Amino acid sequence: MAVIYEKVALIGLGLIASSMAHAMRQRGLAGQIVGHAKSAESRAAALELGFCDAVFATAAQAVAGADLVVLAVPVGVMAAIAAEIGPHLKPGATVTDVGSVKQAVIDMVAPHMPAGVHFIPGHPIAGTEHSGPRSGFATLFDNRWWLLTPEGADAGAVARLRALCEGMGANVEEMDAAHHDLVLAVTSHTPHLIAYTMVGVADDLRRVTDSEVIKYSAAGFRDFTRIAASDPTMWRDVFLTNKDATLEILGRFTEELFALQRAIRKGDGAHLHAYFTRTRAIRRGIIEAGQDTDAPDFGRGSGAKLGPKPGTKQGGDAA
């Protein structure tokens, strides 16, 4: 593939940024890849693993001369990073992010973008429960969705960023920020909150010992723990910055839960069967769309860390 951006600066060197670097390297999409991480250990790992040509102690140093800047940091620090890099951005550069909340990111970042810089918020719906620079792999984005919320950005800059995402294997779609945040509250944010809650309930239920929870975990609880193992800093910021949409969907979930409680209490088997039939159909639709696999353990066996095959999903849910 042809080089799309001569110089890419990755701000934050965790799972998503390192996977982007591996994918860009493997497919020849970037001329030079540089990075910044707050942790000296992460900066050293990026050089050791070879997915960055250079790393810098500050974000301002990293973005100098970059054609594309990727903000791959927790949503809670986006405003501070944007304020730091704004004066150092190259005219005509594109700035994007990988956060799972979009309106809050726009509110935090856009005011710090100078004239002539294209800010195109983004969100790759891909991930695992692992984090850090050593967790990335080149195929993370294969057949995953990458959502862009351009908010009136230059069409040429949007097309260029779209080409990069597609070059890394992703399917790209555009939507407005408010709709994105509602969709993700349904598909990711509230399910994560429920997973955290269920694992917390197991921890609090002292009639079931810790050893029993671990030893006798059935598939459902194992998936809850896989999801609940996700980065706590990232998820704290997600819930604080997508509060309204998450609370709306959580309210709907509570109503559904009460209805199921009532059906169980009354012995209403017909209601339960009809409900589970509808939800089963959604699972089939996800598999048919190539967004997961019906393989044993959903393809998440011990070899999964090598990276999923196209059409399968590795590890934990993405934000």
- Coil, helix or strand at residue 7: strand
Whether the Cβ atoms of residue 59 and residue 53 lie closer than 8 Å to each other? no
What is the side-by-side strand order in the sheet with 54-56? 54-56, 30-36, 5-11, 68-71, 94-97, 118-119
Q: Tokens in use for 210?
A: 């810790």
Please check the confidence at residue 212 and state whether its pLDDT lies above 90. Answer: no
**Cβ proximity of 138 and 125 under 8 Å:** no
| Sequential DSSP letters for 207-220 | TS-HHHHHHT--HH
Whether 123 contacts 146, CB under 8 Å: yes
Average pLDDT estimate for 99-106: 94
Q: How far apart are the C-alpha atoms of 206 and 189, rounded to whole Å?
A: 28
Spell out the residues 6+ positions from residue 221 whose beta carbon is closer than 8 angstroms to its own. Answer: 198, 199, 202, 213
Distance CA 99, CA 122 (A): 7
The structure's pTM equals 0.76
More confident residue, 22 or 198: 22
Q: Is pLDDT of 306 > 90?
A: no
Given the candidates 3.30.70.141, 1.20.120.140, 2.60.40.10, 1.10.3660.10, the CATH classification of the domain at 179-306 is: 1.10.3660.10
**Whole-angstrom distance, CA of residue 199 vs CA of residue 209:** 13
- Split at pLDDT 50, 70, 90, the class of 308 is very low
- Which among 27, 20, 5, 29 is positioned nearest to 118, based on CA atoms? 5
**What CATH architecture does domain 5-175 belong to?**
3-Layer(aba) Sandwich (3.40)
Residue range 127-138, pLDDT digits in tens: 877 889 999 999
Any idea which residue has 């060197």 for tokens?
13
Give me the pLDDT at residue 142, please. Answer: 95
Tell me the residue ranges of DSSP E strands in 140-218: 145-148, 171-174
Which pLDDT value is given to residue 209?
Answer: 62
pLDDT of residue 237: 86
- What are the tens digits of pLDDT across the range 60-96? 999 999 999 999 999 999 999 999 999 999 999 999 9
What single DSSP character describes residue 315?
A: S
Q: Which residues are CB-neighbours of 132 under 8 A, at least 6 positions away?
A: 14, 15, 18, 42, 45
- Structural domain boundaries in the chain: 5-175, 179-306
Task: Give the pLDDT score at 315.
Answer: 36
